[in-house]
Amino acid sequence: SSDRESGGGGEGGGAAQSGGTMVFGATGDPAMLDPAFGSDGETFRVSRQIFEGLLGNELGGTDPVPELAEDWEVSEDGLEYTFNLQQGVQFHDGTQFNAEAVCFNFDRWYNFEGLATSPSASYYYQAVFGGFASTPDTPSIYQSCEATDENTAVIRLTQVTSKFPAALALPAFSIQSPTALQEYDADNLSGAEDALTYPEYALEHPTGTGPFRFESWDRGNGRVTLVRNEEYWGEPALLDELIIRTIPDGNTRRQELQAGSIDGYDFVAPADYQSLQDEGLQVLVRDPFNILYLGFNGGNVPGTSANPALQDPRVRQAIAHAIDRDTIVSSLLPEGAEAAIEFMPPTVDGYAEDVTTYDHDPDRARQLLQEAGAEGTTLRFYYPTEVSRPYLPDPAAMFQVISQNLTDAGFTIEPVALPWNPDYLNAVQSGQADIHLLGWTGDYNDAYNFIGTFFAEASNNQASAEFGAFSAPEIFQALARADQEPDAATRTRLYQEANRLIMDYLPGVPISHSPPALVVAENVSGLEPSPLTAEVFSTVSISE
Amino acid sequence: MSIEALPPEGALRTDVPVLEVEDLSVTFARRGEQPTRAVDGVSFSVAAGETVGLVGESGCGKSVTSLAVMGLLPRRGVQVGGSVRLGGTELLGAPDRTLRRLRGAEMAMVFQDPLSSLNPTVPIGTQVTEVLVEHRDMGKKEAATEAAELLDRVGIPDPTRRLKEYPHQLSGGMRQRALIAMALACSPRLLIADEPTTALDVTIQAQILELLRELVVDSGTALVMITHDLGVVAGLCDRVHVMYAGKVIETADRHDLFARPRQPYTGGLLASVPRLDAGRGIPLTPIRGSARDAIPWAEGCAFAPRCDNAQDDCLTEVAGSTVPLEYDGPGRELRCRHPLTHPSSTAGATSSGSTASGAGR
Amino acid sequence: MLRFIVRRLLQLVPILLGLSVLLFAWLRALPGGPAQAALGERATPEAIARYNELFGLDQPIWVQYLRFLGRAVQLDFGTSSRTGRTVTTEFLERMPGTVELTLFAMVFAIGVGIPLGYLAARRHGSWLDSGAVIGSLLGVAIPVFFLAYLLRLLFAVELGWLPGSGRQEVRIDATHITNFYVLDGLLTREWDAAWDALLHLVLPGIALGTIPLAIIVRITRASVLDVVNEDYVRTANAKGLSADTVRRRHVIRNALLPVSTTIGLQTGLLLSGAVLTETVFAFGGVGSAIYDAIFTRDFAVLQGFILMLAVVYVLVNLLVDISYGLLDPRVRVR
Amino acid sequence: MTAMGDVRRQRIDELAARAGQVPEGEGGVSLVRSAFRRLRRNPVAILGAVIVVVFLFVAAFAPWLAPRDPLAQTLLSEVRPGFIPGAQEGFPLGADQLGRDLLSRLIYGSRQSLLIGVVSTVLGAVVGMALGVLAGAFGGWVDTVVMRFIDIILSIPSLLMAISISVLLGQNQYALMIAIAVTQVPVFARLLRGSMLAQRGSDYVLAARALGVKRGRIVFGHVLPNSLSPVIVQGTLSLATAIIEAAALSFLGLGDPDIARPEWGAMLSTAQDFLSVRPELAVWPALCIIVVALGFTLLGESLREALDPKFRR
Amino acid sequence: MTRAGEPLLQVQGLQVHFPIKRGVFVDRTVGHVRAVDGVDLAIDRGTTYGLVGESGCGKSTLGRAVLRLVEPTAGQVLFDGTDVASLRGEALRTMRRRMQMVFQDPLGSLDPRQDVESLLSEPLRAHGLGGGRAGIATRVRELLDAVGLPTAALRRYPHEFSGGQRQRIGIARAISLEPDLLIADEPVSALDVSVQAQVVNLLEELQQRLGLTYLVIAHDLAVVRHISDVVGVMYLGSLVEQAPSGALYDEPLHPYTRALMSAVPVPDPVVEERRERILLAGDLPSPADPPSGCRFHTRCPWRQETRCDDEVPVLRELAPGHLVSCHWAEEIRDGALQPRSAEEVAATQGVSVRATGVEAIESDALVQGLDEPIERR
Ligand SMILES: Nc1ncnc2c1ncn2[C@@H]1O[C@H](COP(=O)(O)OP(=O)(O)OP(=O)(O)O)[C@@H](O)[C@H]1O
Ligand SMILES: Nc1ncnc2c1ncn2[C@@H]1O[C@H](COP(=O)(O)OP(=O)(O)OP(=O)(O)O)[C@@H](O)[C@H]1O
Ligand SMILES: [Mg+2]
Ligand SMILES: [Mg+2]
Ligand code: NI
């Protein structure tokens, strides 16, 4: 059967017409090219073309679908997953893809040592699986991987989690060539003084099974070149070549597309949607799969001092009533954006229609504030600079409008602006802000990926520092129960319950779900926008 | 001198004075400012082998006169009137090309400050040879040999080495010699020296003056010597023109002038200079005020405010009429209504200073 | 001359030492310190402690400094936290672009500035003069990034004559040997690549070159105005030299002396100061690398780049001094 | 003697008496005053001064001149992505991307921009001059140490320096001012030192020493005041540079964190995102920056000319 | 304070050497400019001592060293019995009150920002003289009167005056402290002849009126002779001859003085024509590297094979008050030795004579460029 498959691949390669070269404008260079160490969008944008995981995402959707695994079964207790693998798949270096390769990758992650175990290296592994073999103190939900035969891999977990297996669609869990990983010393992260040095594998030899092969990375010119994988096991890519070019400045990206130097770009400013369309360019709007919120500081992070007024639910409610979400959505966010009533988008299972809502009502806000005796409360309002996120295209504008709303309701705002990464994230996640703007784009379709990330119980019975380590046992319990519930319907109900609890408690104000967009030139076809911002370019073609 | 160096309109004539300046006037008119007349109706002539001195205090228009003769005044904002003829050829209004051909070849000039007058970034050699190349059609090599000879002639030791040096490597005296060498490169018929020794020490000044003296004697060059040092004039010039506020106010042969100055101004100048051969304590009798105190010639005699002989007719009632320059005995001209009188004897020349009617302080 | 060069090179030592202290202190003084700077999105205090231990950041400060210095002497400035490659590699990869850009900008500024300044001086008071003066004032007053947009809007988007960003058309598959793209194109005889790389220099080069252009125009003009009034120019005219000789040998030569100093200073500034232009034109040089480093808090890169740029800057100025010595015999040093 | 003669005689006496007297006229014209006079006659200077004065006036009286509250997002509800309300009744230049009156923001913006320019220049000048005085007055090893320090600062390109400082001090308008000020320090220090060293060698300083004037008085009473003119010129030019540099820092995202507070640089850099929608949003603040910078530069250049001893009579 | 017999100022073995520095980190001294190299002189009260010599021979430096405006390297300056060289701080400042200076460049020596009133009252205030505001005001008017300037000048600034008037202001300032000694460093050489005479007259008049003692420095021999009682001739940092002015003119003994004297043009054609001229060869040698033996031997028309090149001549008194430092002074006076022409001297000496001012200024373009107002971005 493998003969047939590879023959087919060869045929496909021969039959594919010359699809030309596409140049796509990205906002930054990838950090490196080994997705196991990646956590940022630009790294994943490249990874997704080179690599595939056991699962992938539904084209244009958020649901996990089989990719390198043809299908899978879960044991009754939800702890054992059996994956039946695609046959006749080869890595770009010619290595055969099989169950051993799969287990090699799982074992690789589990056995990371030293610097590879630092959060800056293997963030997603730690977020999904917890600890490593080398860190017995931190429990890991991964137990083992077994290649029961050439095409069957069995993965055992120590604990049930709703994240699994959906999380396997994340590029971080792409299956990479064991030969190449070994040959190029993939796990050998070294570090001098204050930075990680990546091994040769991650810089020069990423080897996967995907529709494109890595060709070159020209850092000086900010260009990653991928070429079609002629041996691809599935439908081969139409493009001969895909070049991902770094253009940090949004205006430059737009002008370059207008000038025809690039064929498309990501992070389109909402203001430009219309004018780009008028020029005949295609603006591809993704379905919103994100949440923007204004986080409050619960005031329990040691070593920080939040405004104590925020402990008072009435003050929190006042803030929620002060914000004019409808105007924000209509004026600052692209068409298709929605005001949010809870901390996850409606398309995710577990969304509750009937949570407590807080309408725009400045008078009510003032009244609540008065009741709480907190008129004129000064709030340190953190917002990020130099960044455009799918859920927050223009942080400065958002900040200004919300801050004006709050001022109108009787608050005093003390603005703090910090560059996004790492300053802003560090400050906000260590509980330094009174209120802050942040959001989240779902990694896969799972409620826990949203509200669990925000409000699950961390150490010493408190929520994460981002929300000021507030303590709400009923929310924690509800989330934990839901996460460990193997039955899907029950789980959904439990998550809905959790959402209601959260919106009653009001640890922050959910603001909006915003549809980010890509734009491509007129002659580009076949690019399917993905709500996860996980576009795959193999279906894209470009005409003269 | 080669034929090519001559202007095409015809050879410079030798039967006329080398330089004739007639009624030369120069007016500076800067935008937004009152026009100033720096030189006002100056006339003089210089014959071959003759040395003519222009003396006067600072700012009286000596340099402007010389620059006007050379055609070196800036075009913009300057009006030059009158006539300047070199060997019979009119220079005022002559095209730039003609002037350039004459300058350096037929007439040359030596300036006051030898350092700033030399280009600091070009070797002395080049600055000398460029004249030769320009006017005498010499090749580089030939010019260099000739330049070395010139430097030797003006008394610069080791000329071949000096040719490669830059102005700042030369001493003041040598710089001035180098400038003179450049001026002499084409054996010009007219040499104008504008205070060539003012910046130099006396011992060096003596060397330079000796050089100029030899030059006039040996080659018959006509020399216009501009200076404010009456001593230099006394030793070098045949005829002397004393200038004040842009006009010549007295002209005389050297001996006459020093023996019997007629203009109170000339007298005053002579009485102001301490003399080496006069004893200690003989008081100087200076002119009062300074050159800034001149009145416009149009109101009469510019010197009147500082003059002790001034009478009411030194100011004219008709605006624009001035005290004229008039014949005052053989070879003399004078612009004064109340000149100094001298006892008829021309003997006691050495005491000429005391004959000036002493006043001042 | 050699003595002079050695002397100037030795003078670099205290500057670099002082600079390294300053930079080191700066890095330590930053809120959160290097650990926070390096650790990613959701770092815990434990992770930070682990990190500090790992990299010896728990040692006394002077031990840290000496170690830093020891490595800096060997041109080891650590590793970029963003790319994971050594700072030195990054620098060597980025510098050629900046050098190319700077050279282009200076060639533009000199090529246009000196003739324009000279003409303005010769036509002192004419409309050309006023135009040059006003233009040069505007050149300094206009924010570079705004100018960059205008230039690109006009020449890249509207007219489509010139590429608007990057160092080379990405679709061209050029071979890179030295990372000087124009040079590489010539070396490998990929003429189209060389030409394309050159075209990519035009717009950023012009944007970057405006300020030096403005300054050169003004200094040339002022300097020519000064020189034409010098005594030695009068002497040259008195010697009856042709107008051309006077201009070439006596006016321009001397007028260019102060200009040459400016050119050197400006080159030094450009080599290290192209942050804005490179960012706006997505030009892969040192400036855009620094920009990225700032916002990703890539301190190793910032520190290393600033130090190395300071060396470049001082070296350029040394070159200027030497060339000035060659141009002006008065300051020629024995 | 005629009557006419008498008059003339009198005139002669008058003239004679005046010869050697001090010149007539109002007199007592100090160099500063005479420089000022020359300045007044220079049309370029007047143009510069008018620009500067107009903007200072606008900044001072912004609350009275601005038709609206520059912070009020009055027209926000009309704003749509890709559409920003243009000029209309009560909004002569239209609104910005948050529905605020552009004209009012430009008017208020002059305050912040000029404030940043002035404060950072003054700060830079004061510190730089203090260093310069230290080096210029004491000479010797003090001079060496100060100048080496200055060399170190100078070897860091100014924008990088400003960036490093804003990174260090965090993002606020004081950090911005300090950052710009620091980049000005070496210029002022060198300038003043150079100028003081030149003055120190002059004869009048020697004369003061010979007269037994105390050292402090020589430095502060003679050397310093006479060394100031290049500093004043540089100060004026630096104002322009500071305003532009502030704009650049805003553009790089290192500006004032309270971006609601109108400031031209910040307005220009945010407007870059709306170039395709309403280019005027960028053009107006850019024009303001250019014109103010031009004003200061013109003034500075004419000051330089006016104070240049070459032009003194 | 009235030790009448004693000279007011006595200078003994005064040396001023300026180090020539060069170095990598720290400047090392690689040589010395011997600006003043062992000068002895004495000035009696109420008399004028005139100092002449070519440019660069150290006249100004000597004058400044007397006032301690430059530090002497060696030697003594006894002013009224006190060694000025040993004074420090306040004592020196007070002592300076009694010695004042008039400068060559009248404009440069006046602070352009001060008006005349402030210029004249500053020294009074610095020394606490004049007695209060009103006292100072009257004193200032007196001073103006003394130098022949109207009170209208008070409110004016130096640039508004003519050269001669500025020099008068300089003189008024110098005499404001009622000094005993006035050092005038080329007080008239920047002025026009007529103005020069006015200033010379003023100086003489003030001397008579105030009983001042003058040290007048000039390069113009005629001026020096005109106002001095005793004239000293300097060459390369040392005195070569000193004599009462009449004696010096009548019978210059040193070859250099003779040459100098013969070089001064006299405004009288008759004299000029008769005058014998002794031309000197070459220029003044560099004081950093002065010739051995007699400093003048490289240019001396009377140079002899013996002694001149290697033996330093001492200042000998040949006639009462007439000192000269020449090995062959008597022979020259008596006509026993004949001078050679400049060409001959130059030929025998070769061209080893290095001119002054050859020292290149080491220019740090980086430093210098930045001292100008510049734009940086
Ligand atoms: N370029 C000029 N523009 C305006 N006025 C000028 C210019 N050049 C000279 N003058 C004026 O012309 C007058 C005569 O100047 P000139 O230089 O000829 O004097 P001088 O006799 O050579 O004086 P000195 O002895 O100082 O050289 C002066 O009053 C001067 O101010
Ligand atoms: N501060 C100084 N440092 C170094 N050398 C100096 C200094 N001052 C003077 N000299 C040198 O000392 C020598 C004597 O200078 P001085 O000024 O005393 O000469 P001078 O006789 O007054 O000359 P002039 O007639 O030109 O004024 C000169 O060679 C000069 O270069
Ligand atoms: Mg003159
Ligand atoms: Mg002197
Ligand atoms: Ni007479």
What are the DSSP calls for E180-246, one per residue?
A: SEEEEESSSTTS-HHHHHHHHHHHHHHHHHHT-EEEEEES-HHHHHHH-SEEEEEETTEEEEEEEHH
What are the tens digits of pLDDT across the range B252-277? Answer: 998 889 988 999 999 998 888 888 77
Residue whose CA is closest, atom 11 of ligand 1? B38
Q: Which chains touch A (3 or more CB pairs under 8 A)?
A: C, D
D9 in contact with B at a CB cutoff of 8 Å?
Answer: yes
Residue whose CA is closest, atom 8 of ligand 2? E61
Chain C nearest C-alpha distance from E163 (Å): 24
Ligand 3 centroid – CA B297 distance (Å): 21
Query: What is the model's pLDDT at position A85?
Result: 93
Query: Could you tell me whether strands B190-194 and B107-110 are parallel, antiparallel, or unpaired per DSSP bridges?
Result: parallel
Give contacts of B312 with chain D, Cβ < 8 Å.
1, 5-6, 8-9, 12
Chain B nearest C-alpha distance from C228 (Å): 10
Q: Which chains touch D (3 or more CB pairs under 8 A)?
A: A, B, C, E
Angle in degrees, CA B342, B344, B349, rounded to 5: 70
| pTM for this prediction | 0.83
What part of C 196-255 touches B (C-beta under 8 Å)?
230-232, 234-243, 245, 249-250, 253-254
Name the residue of chain A whose CA is nearest to C169's CA.
Answer: A261
| Ligand 1 in reach of B61 Cβ (< 6 A) | yes
Question: Which ligand has an atom closest to residue D206 CA?
Answer: 2
Ligand 3 centroid – CA B187 distance (Å): 24
Query: What is the model's pLDDT at position B15?
Result: 63
User: Ligand 1, closest atom to CA B246?
Assistant: 14
The domain in which residue D78 lies consists of 2-16+37-312
Estimate the share of chain B in helix, then strand, then coil, as percent rounded to the nearest 5. Answer: 35, 20, 45
D155 in any annotated domain: yes
Q: Do B100 and C250 touch (CB under 8 A)?
A: no
Query: What is the model's pLDDT at position C44?
Result: 59
Number of C-beta neighbours around residue A437 at 10 A: 24
Name the residue of chain E whose CA is nearest to B267's CA.
Answer: E194
Ligand 2 pocket list (CB less than 6 A)? E 18, 33, 35, 53, 55-61, 219, 287, 356
Report the candidate in A324, A516, A490, A299 with the shortest Cα–Cα distance to residue A401.
A324
Q: What is the CA radius of gyration of chain C?
A: 24
Give contacts of D204 with chain E, Cβ < 8 Å.
108-112
CA C6 to chain centre: 24
pLDDT class for C25, splitting at 50, 70, 90?
Answer: confident
Ligand 1 centroid – CA B179 distance (Å): 22
Chain C nearest C-alpha distance from E357 (Å): 11
Query: What is the model's pLDDT at position A314?
Result: 93
What percent of chain B lies above the pLDDT cut of 70? 88
Is C52's pLDDT higher than 80?
Answer: no
| Ligand 1 in reach of B58 Cβ (< 6 A) | yes
Contacts of D132 (CB under 8 A, 6+ apart): D188, D189, D190, D191, D192, D193, D196
DSSP-based three-state secondary structure for E335: coil
Question: What CATH topology corresponds to C94-281?
Answer: MetI-like fold (1.10.3720)
Give contacts of C272 with chain E, Cβ < 8 Å.
none
CA dihedral (E205, E207, E211, E216) in degrees, to 10, reads 180
Ligand 1 centroid – CA B64 distance (Å): 6
Give contacts of B170 with chain E, Cβ < 8 Å.
355
What are the tens digits of pLDDT across the range E258-288? Answer: 988 888 888 888 888 887 888 888 778 888 8
**In angstroms, rounded to a whole number, what is the distance separating the alpha carbons of residues B229 and B223?**
16
**In angstroms, rounded to a whole number, what is the distance separating the alpha carbons of residues B337 and B340?**
10
Name the residue of chain B whose CA is nearest to E166's CA.
Answer: B290
What are the tens digits of pLDDT across the range D96-108? Answer: 888 888 899 999 9
Chain C nearest C-alpha distance from B258 (Å): 33
What is the domain partition of chain B in residue ranges?
Answer: 19-237, 267-274+290-360
> Please, what is the angle between helix C286-295 and helix C87-122, to 10°?
120
Is B352's pLDDT higher than 80?
Answer: no
What class, spelled out in words, does domain B19-237 have in CATH? alpha beta
Is D46's pLDDT higher than 60?
Answer: yes
Average pLDDT of span C209-219: 90
ipTM confidence score: 0.81
E244 compared with C141, residue with greater pLDDT: E244
User: Ligand 1, closest atom to CA B228?
Assistant: 25
Chain D nearest C-alpha distance from B196 (Å): 24
What is the domain partition of chain C in residue ranges?
Answer: 94-281
Residue whose CA is closest, atom 4 of ligand 2? E18
Query: What is the model's pLDDT at position B52?
Result: 94
Report the candidate in D82, B158, B116 with the shortest Cα–Cα distance to residue A285.
D82
What value does the mean pLDDT of chain C take? 81
Q: Do C34 and A194 touch (CB under 8 A)?
A: yes
**In angstroms, rounded to a whole number, what is the distance separating the alpha carbons of residues C294 and B235?**
79
Query: What is the model's pLDDT at position E23?
Result: 55
Give contacts of D34 with chain E, Cβ < 8 Å.
159
User: Ligand 2, closest atom to CA E356?
Assistant: 29
pLDDT class for C274, splitting at 50, 70, 90?
Answer: confident
Q: Which chains touch B (3 or more CB pairs under 8 A)?
A: C, D, E
The answer to whether the beta carbons of residues E217 and E291 sit under 8 Å apart is no
Give contacts of A330 with chain D, Cβ < 8 Å.
77, 80
Long-range contact list for D44-48, CB < 8 A, 24+ apart? D44/D298, D44/D301, D44/D302, D45/D298, D45/D299, D45/D302, D45/D303, D45/D306, D47/D295, D47/D298, D48/D294, D48/D295, D48/D296, D48/D297, D48/D298, D48/D299, D48/D300, D48/D301, D48/D302
**In angstroms, rounded to a whole number, what is the distance separating the alpha carbons of residues C48 and C64?**
17
Long-range contact list for C20-25, CB < 8 A, 24+ apart? C20/C68, C20/C69, C20/C72, C20/C307, C21/C65, C22/D152, C23/C303, C23/C306, C23/C307, C24/C64, C24/C65, C24/C68, C24/C303
Is B10's pLDDT higher than 60?
Answer: no
D208: CATH: 1.10.3720.10
Average pLDDT of span B44-61: 91
Query: What are the angstrom distances between the C-alpha of A112 and each of A36, A106, A132, C85?
Result: 10, 10, 7, 21
Q: What is the 3-state secondary structure (H, E, C) of B73-93?
A: CCCCCEEEEEEEEECCEECCC
D275 in contact with A at a CB cutoff of 8 Å?
Answer: yes
D83 in any annotated domain: yes
**Can you say whether residue E248 is alpha, beta or left, with left for phi > 0 and alpha for psi between -120 and 50 degrees?**
alpha
Instruction: For chains E and A, tell me whether 3 or more CB atom pairs sit within 8 A of each other.
Output: no
Is C198's pLDDT higher than 50?
Answer: yes
pLDDT class for C166, splitting at 50, 70, 90?
Answer: confident
C257 in contact with B at a CB cutoff of 8 Å?
Answer: yes
The answer to whether the beta carbons of residues D123 and D212 sit under 8 Å apart is no
Name the residue of chain A whose CA is nearest to C294's CA.
Answer: A419
DSSP letter (8 states) at residue A170: S
**In angstroms, rounded to a whole number, what is the distance separating the alpha carbons of residues E259 and B205?**
12
Give contacts of C2 with chain E, Cβ < 8 Å.
none
What percent of chain C lies above the pLDDT cut of 90? 11
Give contacts of C324 with chain E, Cβ < 8 Å.
363, 365
B·E CB contacts under 8 A: 174
Residues of chain A with pLDDT under 70: 1-18, 191-195, 422, 459
The answer to whether the bond into A236 is cis (omega within 30° of 0) is no
Ligand 1 centroid – CA B30 distance (Å): 14
What are the tens digits of pLDDT across the range D185-226? Answer: 988 898 888 888 888 888 889 889 888 888 888 888 888 888
What value does the mean pLDDT of chain B take? 83
Query: What is the model's pLDDT at position E362?
Result: 36
| Residues linked to residue B327 through DSSP beta bridges, in sequence order | B333
Is B317's pLDDT higher than 50?
Answer: yes
Query: What are the angstrom distances between the C-alpha of B68 and each of B19, B58, B92, B185, D268?
Result: 13, 17, 8, 22, 58
| Ligand 1 in reach of B304 Cβ (< 6 A) | no
- Would you give the end-to-end CA distance of chain E in angstroms? 65
Closest Cβ–Cβ partner in A222, A259, A420 for C156? A259
Residues of chain E with pLDDT under 50: 1-2, 351-377
Q: Do D211 and E100 touch (CB under 8 A)?
A: yes
**In angstroms, rounded to a whole number, what is the distance separating the alpha carbons of residues A271 and A287?**
18
D22 in any annotated domain: no
